[in-house]
Chain A
Amino acid sequence: MAYKPQYYPGNTSVAKNRRKHMSDDVEKMRDISDEDLTALLGHRAPGSDYPSTHPPLAEMGEPDCPVREVVEPTPGAAAGDRIRYAQFSDSMYNGPSVPYWRSYHCAINFRGVDPGTLSGRQVNEMRERDLEEYTKRQAETEMTDWGLAGLRGCTVHGHSLRLQEDGTMFDMLDRRRLEGGVMVMDKDQVGVPIDRKVNLGKPMSESEAAKRTTIYRVDNVSFRSDKEVVEHVQKVWELRTKYGFVPKA
């Protein structure tokens, strides 16, 4: 029988969503063009060539190395792209993805990644063209609700704040906002104005966000309501504690 990865225990909607994010079985909800995404990231001008930090690997004449022979480089690494970053901030008010699940999604489904997981934001460093592919995946799918999340390279404040009156997460630099029922973004991730207004689609309704979220909340799906998850977490804690003491038996 073929091996089927078991990503996460539990039977609640949150546990199921967590499994979906980890396995990349996520629903596409909107289209964001490559040029728009490049503008939002702000690392290079849309349409321009990828700046490189070293010549393409094929031209470099790599040393003999069995690992290099086995591991195929990512397109970004093969072309010698720069390392660049994308950072998402997600609201704790039923934001669809929470930082750990962005990291899991990235680390499991993409290669050449360096995810950084913090309490209210998740930053990921990759080769530039790999990064664009990864960001597009997260930005276009149910992993991101642009009302409850934001692409924020700096001044990420908003994750733990109450929502604004219009139901969106606060953004101190006003990078994206609700206009005419859709989220629009006219600044890049560090707040520098860009030459376009990118339509990020309709934000999720409260009930839809509650259905798609990966965060356990007492006012939605509480952590303790999922016995299998609690059991799993307790088992992990028990084992790591015992391992810390290096028991003889």
Chain B
Amino acid sequence: MVRAAKVSDKLKQIRIFPQRLLLPETAEKLLNEIDSVKGVVRMLISGKNLPRTITCGPGTGKDVNHPDRIIIHVSGCAFELHVIVGEVLVEVDNESAVEELKKACERALPFSFELKRGYFIKTKATLTDYGKYGFKSKFDETINLEDERMLGMVDPHAKLETNLCMVRAGENV
């Protein structure tokens, strides 16, 4: 069968770990700089949660109104930050993109950062993914996902729609 897009083992994953937790403006700048690097397949931001309401204690249910929980624009796509950005995981498809990525970070970040290679985002479906998405059909036991790049991008229990942003989705790797 033919899939719209898939991830391959040849992709390289990089973890960008800034010295400070990023303000939304810096995060927006960094993500746009990363997005401008040729060869970036997907990126994943993580950090500490910015809850909409207080979830425990006597103030439960009251609005937090955290000033960092705002809408940012990355490559023309707008989405609301749910976290204070602490690290960015990036997957690229060629070696030269890694150096470009480093330069992009130097342009965007006013402080030092770590750039680490490794395996941070999963590339193959696990049991949890099969539990969430299921099989293609009775006769095709591959995972029921049009675009396998979505694997590992959100928590198994989280909703894709509110946590995933597709930028230039037509450009497959």
Contact = CB atoms under 8 A, between A and B. Distances in A.
B66 A163 contact: no
* Interface SS, A side: loop
A44 to B, nearest CB: 13
A177 B57 contact: no
Contacts of A154: 54, 56-59
Of the four ranges (under 10, 10 to 19, 20 to 34, 35 or more), the interface on chain B belongs to 20 to 34
B54 A165 contact: no
Contacts of B18: 162
A35 B64 CA distance: 23
A153 interface: yes
A163 B20 contact: yes
B37 to A, nearest CB: 23
Contacts of B58: 42, 153-154, 190, 192
Interface string A132-171: 0000000000000000000001110100011111100010
Interface in A115-147: none
A191 interface: yes
Interface in B64-119: 64-67, 84, 86, 110-111
Interface of B: 18-23, 26, 48-51, 54-59, 62, 64-67, 84, 86, 110-111
18 contacts: A153-B58, A155-B57, A161-B21, A163-B20, A164-B84, A165-B22, A165-B23, A170-B21, A172-B48, A172-B49, A172-B51, A172-B66, A173-B51, A173-B59, A177-B67, A190-B57, A191-B64, A192-B62
